[in-house]
Amino acid sequence: MPDDEWGTGMDQTDTDAGADLEAAASGASLRRTEARSAQIEREIADDPSRFRMLTGDRPTGNLHIGHYFGSLHNRVRLQNAGIDTFVVIADYQVITDRDGTGPIRERVLSLIADYLAVGIDPARTTIFAHSMVPALNQLMLPFLSLVTDSELRRNPTVKAELEASGDRPMSGLLLTYPVHQAADILFCKANIVPVGKDQLPHLEQARVIARRFDERFGRAVPTAPVFPAAEALLSSGALILGMDGSKMSKSRGNTIELGMDSDTTARLIKRAVTDSDRHITYDPDNRPEVSNLVKLAALCLERDPVEVAAEIGDGGGGGLKRLVTAAVNEYFAPIRARRAEVAADEGYLLEVLRTGNQRANEIADATLDDVRAAMGMVY
């Protein structure tokens, strides 16, 4: 067999997807993704059984109301629409931007309690831990052969995370972040991934890997491609800022966690930043802090923010905060009660995880068999 039949590098036509990855979250590409997301929503309403969805979180701290309105709420909606749903607890990802795993066991269990409290149903959603699914992780090696280092270095999500981690050097794990995340998505052959704009380059990389895998190896197998092209479902979630008006994040100490009690919630909202205009309006561009609180109340009350603001009128920051506090505490009361109940039952949390791990392993083993077959590694 001539040497070149084996191929010596990337396919000539597909050497570097770096530019596509950089463009994924902007301009025409973003608009296409938005239009396609709207269409997927219609297809889901029509026939949810055509879809498998995967999402995930790093177990780095407790989930907060920003996570809830930004993504959890949407996941539960899609699960309830009848989509086969997978949630990866991305425990290995914890060390992409920090040295230690922290109190990881406690955090994993707490994350599961958060999931169950908001309505993720283990009968319909497979909740599993990344580290517990060896066959998923074994996909990394063939996938790594399908990407170039320049592509990874140019990935905007990798760049952003490197910048956010201050003086830390780029670790191999951070550099390959898009590849292990592709393995998370592709192991279960998910065809939709609800994401925010910032994660679009990752998803594009997963699509590139799926396509290249088929081009390189899959053609030996006369059936369908091994991996489907996963599509982004741009989340319809709302962005809620922290109580100081900056991004809601544990490290800034500006979060309201799902598991907090109503007194703590009231105290945090009382300290929230507002402005000096007593007349409350919903004007996100000019009054970001006030509008953030109005929006939060509106989401909890399932009402229009402009109307909510008009109703507070000249009630000032005090009136606004009283309304927000009541709305948040009422909305989250059943979620918090459910959270307290499940969090007290470690046996149940572990059972949910073990059941999910088992299903994820069965699927990952089958996928790895497909991969080995496509690559001719059947011994």
Among 24, 25, 54, 63, binds ligand TRP (CB under 6 A): 54
Name every residue whose Cβ is closer than 8 Å to that of residue 368 and which is 6 or more positions away in sequence. Answer: 135, 138, 139
Site of tokens 């084996």: 6
Least distance (Å) from ligand TRP to the CB of residue 360?
12
Least distance (Å) from ligand TRP to the CB of residue 246?
18
Segment interacting with ligand TRP (CB under 6 A) among 67-75, 87-95, 313-321, 359-367: 87-95
Of residues 19, 61, 43, 99, the one with CA closest to residue 260 = 61
Segment interacting with ligand TRP (CB under 6 A) among 28-36, 86-94, 257-265, 271-279: 86-94
Q: How far apart are CA 372 and CA 113, in angstroms?
A: 37
State yes or no: residue 231 binds ligand TRP (CB under 6 A). no
DSSP three-state, residue 106: helix
CB nearer to ligand TRP: give 133 or 323. 133
Name every residue whose Cβ is closer than 8 Å to that of residue 228 and which is 6 or more positions away in sequence. Answer: 189, 190, 191, 210
Least distance (Å) from ligand TRP to the CB of residue 357?
15
CB nearer to ligand TRP: give 13 or 251. 251
Compose the 188-207 pattern: x for residues touching ligand TRP by CB under 6 A, - for all others.
-----x--------------
Alpha helices in the chain (DSSP H): 18-23, 27-46, 65-67, 73-80, 104-118, 134-138, 140-144, 149-154, 156-164, 172-175, 177-186, 200-216, 262-270, 288-301, 305-312, 316-343, 346-374
Among 88, 135, 268, 269, binds ligand TRP (CB under 6 A): 88
Name every residue whose Cβ is closer than 8 Å to that of residue 283 and which is 6 or more positions away in sequence. Answer: 290, 291
Determine the Cα angle at 89 with ends 83 and 93, to 5°.
Answer: 130
Among 114, 151, 184, 289, binds ligand TRP (CB under 6 A): 184
State yes or no: residue 57 binds ligand TRP (CB under 6 A). yes
Among 10, 25, 51, 56, binds ligand TRP (CB under 6 A): 56
Q: How far apart are CA 151 and CA 235, in angstroms?
A: 26
CB nearer to ligand TRP: give 272 or 363. 363
Least distance (Å) from ligand TRP to the CB of residue 374?
22
CB nearer to ligand TRP: give 182 or 280. 182
Least distance (Å) from ligand TRP to the CB of residue 140?
13
Tell me the C-alpha to C-alpha distance, in Å, between residue 48 and each of 204, 279, 306: 23, 45, 34
CB nearer to ligand TRP: give 181 or 205. 181
Among 83, 139, 179, 185, binds ligand TRP (CB under 6 A): 185
Site of tokens 């407790």: 62
Of 95-134, binders to ligand TRP (CB under 6 A) are: none
**What is the DSSP secondary structure assignment for residue 247, as one 8-state letter?**
B
> Given the rule CB under 6 A, which residues bind ligand TRP?
54-58, 88, 90, 93, 181, 184-185, 193
